[in-house]
Amino acid sequence: MKTAFFIAWRYLFSKKGSTAVTFITWLSVSATVVATGIMLIILSVFSGLEDLNKSYIENLHADLRIAPAHGKILPKIKELKDFLKFKKEIVASSDLIEEKVYLRYGERGEIGYLRAVDENYLKVNPIDKEIFYGFYPTMDGEVILENSLDKRLSIPVGTVKDTFNLYMPRPGEGLINSEADIFNSVSVVGTGVFPGKDLLNNYVFSTLKTGQKLLGLNEGIAYNIVLKLKPSAAAEKLQTDISQRFKGIYSIKTKSEENSAFWKMVNTEKIMVYMIFTLVIIITTFNLAGAIIILRMDKQLQTKSLHALGMQMVDIRSIYFLTGLLIVALGTIIGIVVGTLFCLLQKQTGFLMATAELPFPITFLTGNFVIVSILSFVFGGAVSYLFSYFYSTKKLL
């Protein structure tokens, strides 16, 4: 094998009998460089975009949300809170009410979503960090609004003189004599504006008491409880513990399950990227197949000499197999180096922009390097083996 490897090394780096053979050999190396380099760059960008999306929703959803399995109001809420007190992995918990409401300011009106939260909510979801104008509500009757909703209604923010109303249909029977017979309403003031980031579009945040007043609920009633966990805590384990303790009473979702559609889309895109670049590498290996065939034709006289000197055919075939692996290895290493340098340059300078203000993000993951290397060596090795060991013996001699 050492002899075969030495000859294969010479075949790759020594002068060929024809300029065309040299060109085709190094064209195969270049194709591998381009394929592996671009695949690493795309996977690193995709990982960066995934991390960027995670950071966007980090302050918008809790680690765990507990909702009633049936209806809207949480049953056995006191018993549930007593159970959660003994869970050391919980950093903070917050009661909330979420309901669709009608907003009216002057002659303008919109359907939106009210999320009424208690004083612990910022420990679970620090939505105040997302506010780009104004401040988080500090008392009942104050709210913050999602940016696009605020723009459509043209609600002035930060002034107590400009109030607007939230409406909720009132349940009941009997004659309707006035608007008050149809709706519960509260007058509120906008104190801040935050971006919805597609996940909280058309949302309004208020204090829990404001929501209870609007919906006509008694104090202590909530629709959901959201939890903030320690970084080392396993949300799935706590989810299982609660489910086993309160069988069939609650619907418990982790952060990823709450955004299942979003993560399904991300994972689908990732699979598509892997499939596309796997196809690119497969196509690239055709250059490798051509390089091995041409090299065998160029070295036909040397092959006859080696066979006459007593080298077995299996060893002769291994020479071309190892030559193919060397081409793959050289192209993969150079491609990974070039791709890494390109990613480092993008990370430092941000010269390629995704939008007018946002450069394409880059995240280096060991898994991406492993995937690129494995795909390159698996398909490159398969082609090298195929065209070295299953190529006609008559064409060797």
- Kindly report, residue by residue over 16-62, the tens digit of the pLDDT: 566 777 788 888 899 999 999 999 999 999 899 888 877 777 767 78
Residue located via tokens 């993008």: 346
End-to-end CA distance of the chain: 21
User: Mapped to the 3 state alphabet, what secondary structure does the chain carry?
Assistant: CHHHHHHHHHHHHCCCCCHHHHHHHHHHHHHHHHHHHHHHHHHHHHHHHHHHHHHHHCCCCCCEEEEECCCCCCCCHHHHHHHHHCCCCEEEEEEEEEEEEEEEECCEEEEEEEEEECCCHHHHCCHHHHCCEECCCCCCCEEEEEHHHHHHHCCCCCCCCCEEEEEEECCCCCCCCCHHHCEEEEEEEEEEEECCCCCCCCEEEEEHHHHHHHHCCCCCCCCEEEEEECCCCCHHHHHHHHHHHCCCCEEEEEHHHHCHHHHHHHHHHHHHHHHHHHHHHHHHHHHHHHHHHHHHHHCHHHHHHHHHCCCCHHHHHHHHHHHHHHHHHHHHHHHHHHHHHHHHHHHHHCCCECCCCCECCCCCCHHHHHHHHHHHHHHHHHHHHHHHHCCCHHHCC
Q: What's residue 289's pLDDT? A: 85
Q: What's residue 390's pLDDT? A: 67
Contacts of 374 (CB under 8 A, 6+ apart): none
Closest CA to 150 of 214, 120, 195, 217: 195
Q: What's residue 88's pLDDT? A: 92
Q: What angle do CA 124, 126, 131 make, to 5 degrees?
A: 155
Percent of the chain having pLDDT more than 70? 93
How many CA within 13 A on the CB side of residue 228?
15
Between 40-44, 143-147, 213-217, 314-318, the lowest mean confidence (pLDDT) is in: 314-318
Instruction: Report the pLDDT averaged over residues 334-342.
Output: 96
Q: What's residue 302's pLDDT? A: 73
Q: What angle do CA 173, 174, 178 make, to 5 degrees?
A: 110
Nearest-angstrom CA–CA distance, 316 and 33: 27
Q: Are 192 and 149 in contact (CB under 8 A)?
A: no
Give the tens place of pLDDT for each residue, 113-152.
999 999 999 999 999 988 999 999 989 999 999 999 999 9
Higher pLDDT, 245 or 13: 245
Distance of CA 51 to the CA centre of its chain: 6
Give the tens place of pLDDT for each residue, 242-274.
999 999 899 999 988 887 777 788 788 888 888
pLDDT at 333 over 90: yes
pTM of the model: 0.72
Q: What's residue 391's pLDDT? A: 55
Q: What's residue 176's pLDDT? A: 60
Give the tens place of pLDDT for each residue, 272-313.
888 888 888 888 888 888 888 887 777 777 777 776 667 777
Closest CA to 164 of 118, 211, 108: 108
Instruction: Report the pLDDT averaged over residues 323-342.
Output: 94
Instruction: Report the pLDDT averaged over residues 376-393.
Output: 80
Residue located via tokens 């302050």: 59
Q: Are 9 and 319 in contact (CB under 8 A)?
A: no
pLDDT at 208 over 80: yes
Q: Are 361 and 45 in contact (CB under 8 A)?
A: yes
Percent of the chain having pLDDT more than 90? 52
pLDDT at 215 over 80: yes
* Mean pLDDT, rounded, of the chain: 86
Q: Are 64 and 254 in contact (CB under 8 A)?
A: yes
Higher pLDDT, 180 or 61: 61
Q: What's residue 202's pLDDT? A: 94
Instruction: Report the pLDDT averaged over residues 171-198.
Output: 79
